[in-house]
Amino acid sequence: MKAGVLFSGGKDSSLAALMLSRDYDVELNTFVFRRETPIRAIENAAEALEFPLRKRVFSAGLLETVVDMMASDGYPNNAINLVHRNAITSLAKEYDVIGDGTRMNDRVPMLTLPEVQSLEARYECTYVRPLLGFGKSAVEELVARHFKVEYGETGHIENGDYESEIRAAFKARGIDPYRIFPSRHQQSLVIGRQE
């Protein structure tokens, strides 16, 4: 059975994909707001994992909605959850099994239990979050066993976590994205498998 996994190229979604591959035929899915957005580093991560990757584009207008929401709220949480919900719902329309790399301690992005139950009932799918029982240190230990990872501040590393395009949209509006996003937030990008 095929599982559609939401994939940023980072360590969490990579580890989730690896764990799900024991029981499913994994297909990675990366979402962008604009079709022309390059995802070469994410493609390289998918090649290192040896899973097929599909680039998907969010519906028109979502980026503007997200930027407006963040500007109004003054923080990114609600808008990032909206983006994540859109991505997961899109996958639920196509796959019987969907998954992502959300962990036990994550607050954002995170679907609530009622949202998960509604999603599974509406689309007759199964939503699997293999890292949900794992804290940060347990994930780090497993990642170190399986992957070579590059780390960097959001905006300086080319993974597919939505933030790069959102930050660029803020800059295009003349708004400093650091007013919304926390500074020195570290992201990861898988660059290979451990031998």
What local confidence, expressed as pLDDT, does residue 159 receive?
A: 74
Q: For the chain, which residues make up each domain, given as ranges?
A: 2-193
Contact by Cβ (8 Å): 143, 149: yes
Task: List C-alpha distances in Å: 93 to 81, 119, 126.
Answer: 18, 10, 11
Contact by Cβ (8 Å): 192, 148: yes
What local confidence, expressed as pLDDT, does residue 187 receive?
A: 86
What local confidence, expressed as pLDDT, does residue 106 receive?
A: 86
Supply the pTM of this predicted model: 0.94
CA 121 – CA 117 distance, rounded (Å): 6
- At 51, which amino acid appears? F
Residue 71 per-residue DSSP state: H
Per-residue burial over 145-156, b = 16 or more CB atoms within 10 Å of its CB, e = otherwise: ebbebbeeebbe
Among 156, 174, 145, residue whose Cα is nearest residue 18: 145
Is a pLDDT exceeding 90 seen at residue 81? yes
Q: pLDDT band for 194, please (50, 70, 90 cuts).
A: very high
What local confidence, expressed as pLDDT, does residue 113 receive?
A: 93
CA 69 – CA 79 distance, rounded (Å): 6
Per CATH, the number for 2-193 is 3.40.50.620
Query: Whole-number mean pLDDT of the chain?
Result: 93
Q: What is the pLDDT of residues 101-159, one digit of tens each?
A: 999 888 889 999 999 999 999 999 999 999 999 988 999 999 999 999 999 877 677 77
